[in-house]
Amino acid sequence: MCLTRLKRRAQPGKVVMLDEAMGEVEETSADIVPASLNSRPDTELLAKIERARVQAALKRLPQNMREIVVLREFEELSYQEISEVVGVPVGTVMSRLSRARAQLKALLIDNEDGVRRNEM
């Protein structure tokens, strides 16, 4: 992530492609397991399952919300940077992010319960 930030700052106006960012999220999250979990295969498996659930829920979000979540939570862009990349006002970024987080939460809860609600 540090290298990504440095590259981003060195290239102002860089366009971030959602497909590339999602690919990086999938590649990175599959490899990241805290050192404390390495000694417990069952815990490592649960962490991988949880990451898969989050990725599946992300894919179910509308694209305009998904891109903002990915840019904020995984690419760690500021609201202003997201506003410039997506081409919408900062207030719109904030409201979309809030709605996207709420929908992600609902999707993850629904997935956990095995029930699908029509909240989207």
* Residues contacting 62, CB < 8 A, separation 6+: 120
Residue 64 pLDDT: 94
Q: Which domains does the chain have, with CATH numbers?
A: 18-29+38-113 (1.10.10.10)
| Main-chain phi, psi angles of 53, to 5 degrees | -65, -40
Residue 35 confidence (pLDDT) above 80: no
- CA distances (Å), 35 to each of 20, 38, 41, 44, 90, in order? 27, 5, 12, 10, 37
| pLDDT tens-digit map of 47-99 | 888 889 989 999 999 999 999 999 999 999 999 999 999 999 999 999 999 99
At 1 the pLDDT is 45
User: pTM for the complete prediction?
Assistant: 0.61
CA–CA dist 85, 44 (Å, integer) = 35
Q: Which residue, among 7, 44, 17, 10, has the nearest Cα to 29 in the 3D structure?
A: 44
